[in-house]
């Protein structure tokens, strides 16, 4: 069995305006800080990490950041649930066809590994009809270290789906952080240039494989050594 773990933002979907708005509301409600995320490049960071780092930038004392972190996460989850219906989410080219084809293989198990908080991640993929393809995940509320999210997803596959780790874990993502996290968890990384990084950037960052988009279904099946 092969375990395929997919990032969400800029890998499966275009970035969400509602998600950023939920951050800003969380900052205000938990810390009393007005902080605009407009123009910030945070790809590959976990939501927990983003809260901590941006509140440091806003000069919130460290003890306050840590004591209110879980509260901020709860506010974010609540606010995004309210915003989800109106959030304009767009599935990236090739994603649906690829997931549908992979889903037909009995030797493939698919999950999410994303910096998004779990309820936000599932809310996004559920809204656009992709949730049915994914059985598990590692999520950004669990840790500030992204590689730990990959490890969490692998362990869930082992415990709940009979997965046996043997150089058969693949991480799909669009940033150098995805690449580093996948390698730290001893996974093979397929980087996709569907976000803010070019194929050349992702190659320099050390990806095992680089593709232009998820529309390259035949190449992806070759990488995975699967018959299409």
What is the DSSP track for 115-172?
SS-HHHHHHHHHHTT-GGG--EEEETTS-S-HHHHHHHHHHHHHHHH----SS-EEEE
Query: Measuring CA to CA, how many Å separate 196 from each of 8, 162, 173, 212, 226?
Result: 14, 36, 11, 12, 29
Q: Answer whether 226's CB lies under 8 Å from 108's CB.
A: yes
- Looking at residue 216, what is its pLDDT? 96
Q: What is the pLDDT of residues 147-166, one digit of tens each?
A: 999 999 999 999 999 999 98
**pLDDT score recorded for residue 87:** 87
- In this prediction, residue 228 carries a pLDDT of 66
The model's pLDDT over 92-136, given as tens digits with 9 standing for 90+, comes to 999 999 999 999 998 999 999 999 999 999 999 999 999 999 999
Residue 24 and residue 190 in contact, taking contact as beta carbons nearer than 8 Å = no
At residue 55, the pLDDT reads 95
Give the pLDDT band (50/70/90) at residue 36.
confident
pLDDT in tens, 54-83: 999 999 999 999 999 999 999 999 999 998
Range 195-212 average pLDDT: 96
pLDDT of residue 179: 97
Strand partners, 110: 4
Predicted pLDDT at 143: 86
Q: Does domain 2-15+90-224 have CATH number 3.40.50.1000?
A: yes
Q: What are the pLDDT digits (tens) for 78-97? A: 999 998 988 889 999 999 99
Cα gap 112→150, rounded to integer Å: 9
């Amino acid at each position: 069995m092969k375990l395929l773990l997919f990032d969400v933002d800029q890998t499966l979907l275009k970035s969400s305006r509602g998600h950023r708005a939920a951050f800003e509301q969380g900052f205000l409600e938990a810390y009393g800080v007005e902080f605009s995320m407009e123009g910030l490049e945070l790809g590959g960071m976990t939501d927990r990490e983003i809260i901590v780092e941006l509140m440091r930038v806003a000069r919130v004392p460290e003890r306050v950041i840590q004591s209110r972190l879980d509260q901020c996460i709860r506010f974010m989850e609540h606010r995004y649930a309210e915003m989800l219906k109106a959030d304009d989410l767009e599935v990236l080219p090739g994603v649906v066809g690829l997931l549908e084809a992979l889903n037909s293989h009995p030797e493939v198990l698919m999950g999410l590994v994303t910096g998004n908080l779990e309820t936000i991640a599932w809310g996004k993929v559920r809204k656009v009809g992709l949730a049915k393809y994914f059985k598990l995940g590692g999520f950004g509320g669990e840790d500030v270290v992204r590689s730990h999210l990959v490890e969490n997803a692998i362990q869930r596959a082992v415990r709940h789906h009979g997965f046996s780790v043997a150089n058969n874990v693949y991480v799909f993502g669009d940033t150098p952080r995805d690449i580093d996290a996948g390698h730290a968890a001893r996974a093979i990384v397929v980087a996709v240039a569907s976000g803010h990084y070019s194929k050349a950037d992702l190659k320099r960052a050390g990806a095992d494989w680089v593709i232009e988009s998820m529309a390259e279904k035949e190449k992806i099946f070759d990488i995975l050594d699967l018959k299409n």
